[in-house]
Amino acid sequence: MKSLPRLAVAVVALATAFTHAALAADALPSFHGAPSETSVSGLSSGAFMAVQYQVAYSGSVIGAGVVAGGPYYCAAGNILNTTICMGQVPFVPPNPALMVTAAAGFASLNQIDPLSNLQKARVYVFSGTKDTVVHQQAVDATVSFFEGAGVQASNLMYVNSVPAGHAFITPSFGNACADNASPYISHCSVEKQKYDQAGALLQQIYGKLNPPAKNLTGRIVSFDQREFAASGTGMADTGYIYVPSSCEQGVACKVHVAFHGCKQSAAAVGDDFYAKTNYNYWADTNNILVLYPQVNASTIPFNPEGCWDWFGYTGPNYALKSGAQLSAVHAMVGRLLANP
């Protein structure tokens, strides 16, 4: 009889384990909206990924926010090129003309969408003057790439005078402005005003938006990424999405994909990126679903810092629509807006 409490505890523990497993395995839900109003943004490797997604799926992506990221296909599938692509080799910046040529070649083979779609894209690019990880000469090349690929000058915003380190900028959360340290989120002021990067990039992409919510009415939902991406892609088991209450009530919503940077997944920084970067507050009042896909550090594939694949660790097609990570995220966007 004395063993019954232990058995009961074991049963409860087992049931709890199964409950957590079930929660982690919840399928990504569907909502009502327009796939043609999808946009992307990201920091660092997430910025490289945002550029790749914008270029590869330009037919359905209306704009991108690029925070401390280099141009499309900069590494050309070779990890040895990454230091140049991050602007870390003095006086040797990336050559954006070569990347435009590569992208045009991929488009001619229907491996990515036609570059002509980029003529209507709206792009926000940011480089902090104190960034010691992705230097400004690399981000300059990103701007030149988009110009060469057809983005109109009136649709391209480049913010490059803020004394920020390598970080996503919020009005109040995170490190001091000039820091280059985890969680790679900092707070800065521009002209004595707190800088809200999420709002700046979303309004560059979508135009004037309603002010951000003071209090969130929606919820953060975790979902099973394994439905879309095997572990060999480097993507984590679980991703996150912010769902405004309006989207759950059937209002037509847009999707914004926010790619975290290296060492910035939930496994590394908890909810700092998907809950504290201010995206959700803008999304809440503007009918925007914010998708936060996740990549974790791994040994297979070799990705010790948990970066998105912008140099080919998942294979040579990493920057194409058939790329393992790009196609997985694209399928997630399709699911989110699958409810007619």
Q: For residues 164 and 297, give the distance between their C-alpha atoms in angstroms, rounded to a whole number.
A: 26
Find out whether 257 and 329 touch, Cβ atoms under 8 Å.
Answer: yes
Q: For residues 135 and 86, give the distance between their C-alpha atoms in angstroms, rounded to a whole number.
A: 6
Q: Tokens standing for 87?
A: 């602007």
Domain ranges of the chain: 29-336
Query: Is 90 exceeded by the pLDDT of residue 272?
Result: yes
Q: For residues 118 and 10, give the distance between their C-alpha atoms in angstroms, rounded to a whole number.
A: 58
From 215, 255, 284, select the one nearest 30 (Cα to Cα).
255
CA 124 from chain centre, in angstroms, equals: 13
* Catalytic-role residue among 113, 135, 166, 256: 166
From 244, 122, 263, select the one nearest 181 (Cα to Cα).
263
pLDDT tens digits, residue range 141-186? 999 999 999 999 999 999 999 999 999 999 999 999 999 999 999 9
164 Ramachandran zone, left/alpha/beta (phi>0; psi -120 to 50): beta
Q: Coil, strand or helix: which one is 292?
A: strand
Dihedral Cα 161, 167, 173, 179, nearest 10 deg: -80
298 is a catalytic site residue: no
pLDDT tens digits, residue range 298-331? 999 999 999 999 999 999 999 999 999 999 999 9
Task: Look at residue 35 in the predicted model and tell me its pLDDT.
Answer: 86
* Catalytic-role residue among 39, 58, 131, 135: 131
* Catalytic-role residue among 44, 58, 144, 298: 44
Query: Is 80 exceeded by the pLDDT of residue 12?
Result: no
Q: For residues 326 and 53, give the distance between their C-alpha atoms in angstroms, rounded to a whole number.
A: 6
Q: For residues 102 and 77, give the distance between their C-alpha atoms in angstroms, rounded to a whole number.
A: 12
Query: Is 60 exceeded by the pLDDT of residue 227?
Result: yes
39 is a catalytic site residue: no
Burial of 72 (0-12, 13-18, 19+ CB in 10 A): buried
Angle between helices 136-149 and 96-108 (to 10 degrees): 40
Task: Look at residue 17 in the predicted model and tell me its pLDDT.
Answer: 37
pLDDT tens digits, residue range 83-118? 999 999 999 999 999 999 999 999 999 999 999 999
131 is a catalytic site residue: yes
